[in-house]
A and B are shown apart, each in its own frame.
Chain A
């Protein structure tokens, strides 16, 4: 090498090398995201085109224009991410876009079957809600620049969650739909506050458990090989249990109750690593649900329809919807009837609660499993973000959000496929419903923010302050 002096030559090359890194490296994950976003938009376009072809209905260009606008908004999300969270996870947004788009295509298909157009069409409203949800997600990303600030507002989050839970019970604004009191109606707008409560609760649990988990996991008497918590530590779990039972009794919604309680138990287990809490919680919940099924006719009906749906006494009544959904799955078979070629509209609420049955009928087992795989990947990303998180609050929050999402999918899909009693939760991203969309896009924004923090945050945390074993290990 014809270098006169070694050091300056190396210095120059190191300097230019560093500059190259700074220009290129931050965009790496975003550059990975771009083709997946494009692919997601392509699949959605194909789904909508297939719906139009399959139904053979006269082509109405309005939805195409709306979807084009939505596509533009997705590009805006991508650009905003490049600026405010360049190191965020590259798969969360494409998966959410694809799931949401397939949901819109299927809702549009049911609109065609029911002859709904314009503002009557659920697909139009879904597009508008998606736009609102994405805008709110962008706002969340811009406002929440550091997820640790959220942990400061944990008790505020608890208060918000409790208010949201109670809202539908208030006379005047609370509204009862299909026997469940989950809705709040303010003027022309109606929404399900429970969906937002889910996010607020996850923030509260994460903040609370970071501070309380030591007393929860370390102290207590051993009994039957399990460490039972002290009575005074039992307080919060009993409060959450009481709140979810209140939801069950007053709002008559088993699914939401299961979701809140499951969220708390899941996060408690992640925070403390104590199986005894989970056992205790599951016993409490199953006991409560059994008592409710005896005492509350609404829950009892759901149980009866679940255990014996083809009973001639039920089939025209309480289990009609469930059975139609099952027939839909059966009609779809392995590869489905094809988009637009089935009869998913026979099932009541085919676009919202039973969207999985609609999709199962028209896309078949193969298509349904692709959707479940996407949902699984989304949950996997959330867990992964939690797993590699730098601080305990962020870890718990990511895992909690992912677990709530997974549990919700399980409760919905399990209900529709008769694995568990049918409940009224919405399928994340897919089902028609604004509150659910907004809440889930806010979850997307939080996961993006958390994953960005992971990549930029501390690499290694060494803790040896009090002599106990260090908890935090290597970050990303």
Chain B
């Protein structure tokens, strides 16, 4: 409403100004063309005198210029404007007053009509600051997120901001942002189980269910803090499965299932994984070398459940372990590298410290070698591999696993 009043006021003011000359009494004396011309000539005459006084032109030049001007002046003063105008005048109809009224009627109608066709009168202005300062009840989640984001751009070292926004990102399914936010809050405020869990979960989800190294390290940490944690154990087994260590994965899944509460809703998921592994191993032992068809990693395939109870038809089985190809993993790692670099480094350093104190943790060494390799720190990976060999001394199974790892990662030793 206020908008329309404002429109009306502006339009009325404009019309009043436009119509005023039209509604005036008969127009008085104004500068006619003739008088204007004569004024110019008089000015020019004065200039000639001034120029002569300044010495810009000499007396003879001044005289000839004056003569020329005087001639023009006389000519013009005898020539009335109407005679000079070569076009015949149009009739003076309609009268100025009529034009004034017509203007008052048509200008607002025309303006409103065009405006209605183009404008959005019902739409309020939405400056960014006003949107960000809306009360939380009015603001949508997106506005609130944008508000926190704007703050974080100003103060990127504000850990609480990252801590607050991270779970929201997770809920909004912005997994990549969530992973980054959790890692920032861990870096700035320290580890808590909630942050670690959030980081691990969002990182896995951001990578389409692939448990990449930072997530794996995070779950490892959760498990250190809370031994027996089902979620962490499940995802670590998933990581094993994705690495192709089916036996370890199967053992892990079964262990999770063994002490799962009776009514846990995720039990069926774990069972499905176990069934899937069984199917894979069947396929492996049957020596099928048909081309592999890929399955979504970590995805739950209802068909998997049947596979454990029925003989697996070769056509439906996978010749290779399920989950991503090594290219997928590499790509996922590449993607997350930038965001999670700081976090990964911290985790890796912690692991390295731990192994220095407890060099007999063979699995720890394996993880460290893999982590260094993923981070592109080849020298460190080689060194870790040497240490791992020490802890594997005399154990042929461990040595074989190290050889496999070294060849997989392309390490020298």
A-B interaction: no
